[in-house]
Amino acid sequence: MTTEFRASVVTLDAGSDDSGSLTTELYRRIEGRLAYPTDLLDIPGLLQGAILRSEHAHARLLRVDTTRARRMPGVHAVVTADDVPGVNRFGIVVRDQPVFCVDRVRYEGDAIAAVAADTRAQAQAALAAIEVEYEPLPLVSDAMTAEQQPPLHESSNLLAQERFDCGDVDKAFAACHVVIEQEYRTPRQMHAFMETEGGVAIPDGTGGIVFRVGCQSGHRDVGQLADILDLAPSRVTVEAMATGGAFGGKDELTIQPAAGILALKAGRPVMIQLGRFESCRAGMKRHPVVAKMKTGCDANGRLLAHKVDAVLDTGAYASLGPAVLENYLDHATAPLYRIHAYSVSGRLVYTNNGVSGAFRGFGGNQATFAIESQLDALARALGRCPRELRRINLRTVDEPGSRHQPVRWTVAPVDLLRQAQQSPLWTLQKETSGRWLTGTGMALGAQGNGLGDGLPDSGGGRIALTPGGRIRVEFGFADYGQNVGEAITRAVSKGLGCGCGEIDVVLGHSRGPDSGPTSASRSSVLVHGVLRRMLPLWKAAVRQQAAVLTGYSLDHLAHGPGGIFHLGQRVLSYRELAENGRLEELVADAAQDFPVAPGQEKPVGRYLQLQIATVARVAVDRLTGRVRVTDLHHITAAGRVIYPPGYLGQIEGAAVMGLGMTLTEDMPMHEARMQRNNLDQYLIPTFQDAPAQRVDVLDDTPGNDPFPVRGVGELGIEAVAPAITSAIEAATGVRVHKLPVDPGVLLKGIHRQENLA
Amino acid sequence: MNDLNIASNPVTFDLNGRTATCSVPAMTSLLDLLREAGAITSVRAGCRVGRCGACNVLIDGQAMPACLIMAWQLPGRRVETVEGLGGDPDFLKVRQVLAEESALQCGYCTPGVALSLVSGLRERRNGTRVDLAEAVAGNLCRCTGYGGLKRVLDNHLNPVSSRNTADGAGNRNLISGEPE
């Protein structure tokens, strides 16, 4: 069964969308008045901290002598592994990363010691005075052979492996008319947030400590930091400040452990901001993946068999690697398509190649690149249109997900495909001679919201009236550019019928409500769900007091702009209520579990699903092999849009990040050393590289849908890479399977094609 | 600090319309000077090699990265940051259109972007033909994908496109229905 096309299509436009509070917030940022964690330079007594990083990617640590450094001018504290008060280990999934190395370094950014001094220059000078003696060890620099090398941790270099099976895949391959086998490689992409990892640790004077930092989960970090600092969790406060970009790269602890230990030792506030060199070397990266895929279909193009063997390089420490592996494999099962039988397996290995962790897309986009390339290859082998091949294999809304789990789409996948086929980019004339070769291609992608796979996932919020009569809404989420505060403001304004200017949103405070991590595109879903529970509670409490204060019957009182209304007349302002009411009762808390499929004992994969179709137009320079993406047209199905400029910006921003991964971005390693150390070498897209983009939203979520809002922070990156390589193939006849696209390789392919012609 | 930086001579320059005097080592970057001595934190360290534009300031009206300007180069110069542009008509226009098109997300790079645009608009006032797409080419933004900034230029500041058209294939913008 296929659903008839009925969803409404809206092309998003950022202009003339203003809630009042939005302009105020944007002006604050444009005028430079929003202070980021690394701008907090006016804290009295602030010291500057710096971290000593390992010179070797793998070595025994024989001696760390800080004697000279301690005597350097301006130095207030020098700390090493001996000074870690509690557990010298951290990691969100597996605590395998030392705050400061003890007897062994495992990557060239590993932390060995840290210094706090009056100035940055003094701190750097003291670092240089720390004497370290290493005994180099053999490198584990190749993920493909890592398992055969001596282990970097207690047991083997195989940190995790997982496998999803469906049906008898060998039998299914035997029935195939066409089989495509191909290896795919994706790069070690760097987050390259404009504000490097940083923030401040401030002793509170009573033995506790406050962190004002760029991070993605204040509440979770409290637990890890309390263990490291040997403090009760109640003595550790984390303020997840608005930060200059994160994209997953600030999900794990960064500077917090070193800053905290220094601050406690010096008894003064300590700021650490990584320099860009240091951030390149020590910071998190996207997992590079090498995947062998084998996919087959019958003579009609129906997908019968699919096999995946993937190796993910997690580097020296686990961080979120095991979760990335799971999401990679989930996407490698081709969630959008019906496949008779599959066997999908992956291995996550330790190497000395830096540390890989969370990054927008979280393994999913790496898998989608390969899956969509496989479908194009099958279509080519069959002589069929790739869109038609997709159409006959797409799942319907009534089918379970690829792992047999219940899933909830917002529109039928085929509707999205149909919309993508109507993109104006297909009608552009193709340039086939002259310097530029142009072509159009597309890819589909699916992505789930939430942490998934039955992991504990819940979040809460709070609403209160302030003594001044303002509506204060608190969530634990961090704002790193997505402006979740604006989405909250709009939803509350709608729910209470009040102006956006009456609402104060407070985010990211570990003493406030725990909303869980700001990751996995989960914030919007939870905000919507929590407000749906919380606002009625608060409204009832407010009206109850309003009834007492005004004498009107409870049933005839309603919320409106500025306060409480009776028969269309405002009879009590929030300010009057705050002055005369019982404020302590005008507070409501609510929390909810992240939505999972009903009736599942152990949830598998993700229940709330989103989709995107990306149509790309490229121009390939026949002289240099360089690729320009001129246009990206996205069709998204991700539920209702509550904040159009935010939605548009998330899709556009993620897409250009995916464009970077496709065309230029990689952190190449040589003997386990990073070969790029700044933004003049590691090239992220500039204004001149940015394509024209259009975002069409497909939505037919009914008004009573329990989950009408989905999170779109990662959706835009899902299908960009295969859409671009598909367009490159349309332009040149050359299909690229390794990212980023190497212009030299592409040029060779173009020449080969032209010689054949 | 290394030996080059020992000498601290007083440096006098114009900062946001006021005379500023400070004694810092000659090789102190304007970036550090503004942030650490001047408490001007809209000027931000992104790369410290002049690539990202997050530390842009106006020097005698021209946008330049403060990380590459040293204290000894400052005497007699006019330095402006967004903190000092509250009444500047070009800045007010830029501020308005950046917000209107939601051309920013985290905002860390935005003061630098705004200064590149103000610098370009001022040059235009002086009769110079300025391609604003060139003017912002040195401003890296990791959040937005430059979509909003494109709309700012196309819809508000750059009605007659002067984008480089040397390579014919790359400049069609058919998605928005505006062939150039």
**Does one domain contain both B101 and B72?**
no
| Residue B174, phi-psi category: left (phi > 0), alpha (psi -120 to 50), beta (remainder) | alpha
Q: Which residues pair with A588 in a beta bridge?
A: A463
Q: Do B145 and A648 touch (CB under 8 A)?
A: no
* SS3 per residue for A396-447: CCCCCCCCCCCCECCCCHHHHHHHHHCCHHHHCCCCCCCCEEEEEEEEEEEE
Its domain, for residue B167, covers: 89-174
Query: Chain B: residue nearest A197 by CA?
Result: B46
Q: Is B180 part of a structural domain of the chain? A: no
The pLDDT value given to residue A602: 84
* DSSP 8-state symbol, B155: I
The runs of H, that is alpha helices, within A561-643 are 574-580
Q: Give a yes or no: residue B24 inside a domain.
A: yes
Whether residues B100 and B116 fall in one domain:
yes
Nearest residue on chain A to B96, alpha-carbon basis: A27
Strands (E), A487-608: 503-507, 557-560, 563-566, 569-573, 587-593
Q: How confident is the model at residue B133 (pLDDT cuts 50, 70, 90)?
A: very high
- Rounded Cα gap, residues A45 and A118, in angstroms: 9
The residue-averaged pLDDT of B64-74 equals: 96
Write down the pLDDT at residue A416: 96
* CATH 3.30.365.10 intervals, chain A: 1-13+404-448+604-757, 458-593
Contact between A316 and A350 (Cβ < 8 Å): yes
Q: Which residues of A fall within a CB distance of 8 Å from B42?
A: 31-33
Determine the distance in angstroms separating the CA of A230 from the nearest CA of chain B, rounded to an integer. Answer: 33
Find out whether the peptide bond into A740 is cis, omega within 30 degrees of 0.
yes
Q: Which of B108, B114, B176 sits opposite A195 (nearest CB)?
A: B108
Residue B168 forms part of a structural domain = yes
Q: Which of A15, A41, A424 sits opposite B41 (nearest CB)?
A: A41
Shortest CB distance from B170 goes to which of A428, A628, A685? A628
For A510-513, the CB contacts below 8 A with 24+ separation are A510/A218, A510/A219, A510/A221, A510/A222, A510/A236, A510/A237, A510/A238, A510/A239, A510/A240, A510/A476, A511/A237, A512/A462, A512/A474, A512/A475, A512/A476, A513/A459, A513/A460, A513/A461, A513/A462, A513/A474, A513/A475, A513/A476, A513/A589, A513/A591
- Looking at the domain covering A1-13+404-448+604-757, what would its CATH class be? alpha beta
Q: Are residues B93 and B165 in the same domain?
A: yes
Look at residues B84, B112, B131 and tell me which one is the last residue of a structural domain: B84
| Domain C-terminal end among B84, B109, B133 | B84
Judge if B169 and B94 occupy the same domain.
yes
- String of DSSP letters for B111-137: HHHHHHHHHHHHHHHTT----HHHHTT
Residues B166 and B140 in one domain: yes
Residues of chain B with Cβ-Cβ distance to A682 below 8 Å are none
Beta-strand pair A436-448/A609-621: antiparallel
Residues 6+ apart with CB under 8 A from A454: A596, A602, A603, A604
Q: Contacts by B10-13 with C-beta closer than 8 Å and gap 24+?
A: B11/B71, B11/B72, B11/B74, B11/B75, B12/B75, B12/B76, B13/B74, B13/B75, B13/B76, B13/B77, B13/B78, B13/B79
Q: Please name the member of B111, B151, B170 whose beta carbon is closest to the beta carbon of A32.
A: B111
Nearest to A521 by CA among A548, A482, A551, A550: A482
Task: Kindly list the residues from chain A whose CB atom is less than 8 angstroms away from the CB atom of residue B40.
Answer: 32
Would residue B27 count as lying in a domain?
yes
Q: How far is B110 from chain A (nearest CA, A)?
A: 5
> Among all residues of chain A, which has the CA nearest to that of B106?
A481
Q: Are residues B101 and B64 in the same domain?
A: no
* Same-domain check for residues B105 and B154: yes
Residues in B touching A652 (Cβ below 8 Å): 144-148
Non-local (6+) Cβ contacts of A735 within 8 A are A373, A376, A377, A725, A728, A729
**Residues A36, B47: C-beta atoms closer than 8 Å:** no
Q: Give domain status of residue B56, yes or no.
A: yes
Residues 6+ apart with CB under 8 A from B25: B1, B4, B5, B6, B7, B8, B71
List all residues of chain A from 405 to 434 with a beta carbon under 8 Å from chain B: 424-425, 428, 431
- Indicate yes or no: CB of B82 within 8 angstroms of CB of A32: yes
Contacts of A424 in chain B (CB under 8 A): 174-175, 177
Query: Which of B99, B148, B167 comes nearest A23 by C-beta?
Result: B99
Cβ <8 Å between A679 and B49: yes
**Claim to verify: residue B165 and residue B111 sit in the same structural domain:** yes
| CA atoms in the 13 A half-sphere facing the CB of A165 | 6
Query: Which residue is closest to B101 within chain A, CA to CA?
Result: A15
Asked whether residue B125 falls in the same domain as residue B56, the answer is no
* pLDDT in the model for residue A15: 58
The pLDDT score that the predictor gives to residue A599 is: 82
Domain A458-593 CATH assignment equals 3.30.365.10: yes
Has residue B28 been placed in a domain? yes
Residue A464, strand partner residues:
A472, A587
At A415, give phi and psi (nearest 5°): -65, -40
Written as one letter, the residue type at A99 is V
| Minimal Cβ distance to B147: which of A18, A630, A648 | A648
**Smallest Cβ distance to B137: which of A17, A621, A687?**
A687
Residues of B in contact with A436 (CB under 8 A): 167-170
Min Cα separation B171/chain A (Å): 7
Min Cα distance A690 → chain B (Å) is 6
Judging contacts by C-beta atoms under 8 Å, the chain A residues touching residue B142 are: 191-194, 245, 247, 653, 657, 684
Chain B contact for A201, CB < 8 A?
Answer: no
Mutation for testing the A interface, residue in B24, B171, B174, B176 having most A CBs under 10 Å: B174
Q: Identify whether residues B95 and B169 lie together within a single domain.
A: yes
Instruction: Say yes or no: B63 and B127 in one domain.
Output: no
In angstroms, what CA-CA distances link A450 with A8, A453, B72? Answer: 26, 9, 54
Q: Determine, for residues B109 and A194 on separate chains, whether the beta-carbon distance falls below 8 Å.
A: yes
CB A505 within 8 A of CB A244: no
Q: Which residues of A touch B110 (CB under 8 A)?
A: 29-30, 32
Is B3 within the bounds of a domain? Answer: no
pLDDT tens, position by position, B89-124: 999 999 999 999 999 999 999 999 999 999 999 999
Interface ipTM: 0.95
Q: Nearest chain B Cα to A713, which residue?
A: B143
With beta carbons less than 8 A apart as the criterion, state whether A342 and A307 touch.
Answer: yes
CATH code at B104? 1.10.150.120
Asked if B143's CB is within 8 angstroms of A481's CB, the reply is: yes
Residue ending a domain, choose from B84, B100, B117: B84
Q: Which residues of A537-567 are buried (b: 16+ CB within 10 A; e: fewer)?
A: ebbebbbbbbbeebebeeeebebbebbbbbe
* 3 state DSSP class of A34: coil
Answer whether residue B2 is part of any domain. Answer: no
Segment-wise mean pLDDT, segments of 10 residues, chain A, 757 residues: 49 66 92 96 97 98 98 98 98 96 97 97 97 98 98 96 98 98 98 98 96 95 98 97 96 98 98 98 98 98 98 98 97 98 98 98 98 98 98 96 93 96 94 90 96 90 97 95 90 94 95 93 93 97 96 95 96 97 96 89 90 98 96 96 93 98 98 97 97 94 85 97 98 97 97 86
Same domain, B55 and B111: no
By three-state DSSP, how is residue A12 classified?
Answer: coil
- Please tell me the distance from the alpha carbon of residue A563 to that of residue A545, in angstroms, as a whole number: 12
Find the residue in A nearest to B156 (Cα): A15
Q: Which of B42, B175, B180 to mutate to test the interface with A (most CBs of A within 10 A)?
A: B175
Q: Is the pTM of this model over 0.90?
A: yes
Q: What percent of chain B has pLDDT over 70?
A: 84
The total number of structural domains in chain B stands at 2
Report how far residue B132's alpha carbon sits from residue B94's, in angstroms, rounded to the nearest whole number: 12
For residue A619, which residues of chain B lie inside 8 Å, CB to CB?
167, 169-170
Mutate which: A196, A687, A689, vs B, most B CBs within 10 A: A687
Arithmetic mean of pLDDT, B127-149: 95
Indicate which CATH number applies to the domain containing B20: 3.10.20.30
Chain B residue at shortest CA distance from A74: B1
3-state secondary structure of A467: coil
- Interface touch B142/A192, C-beta < 8 Å: yes
The CA distance from B165 to the nearest CA of chain A, in Å, is 12
Give residue B8's pLDDT band: very low, low, confident or very high (50, 70, 90). Answer: confident
Longest distance between any two alpha carbons in chain A, whole Å: 90
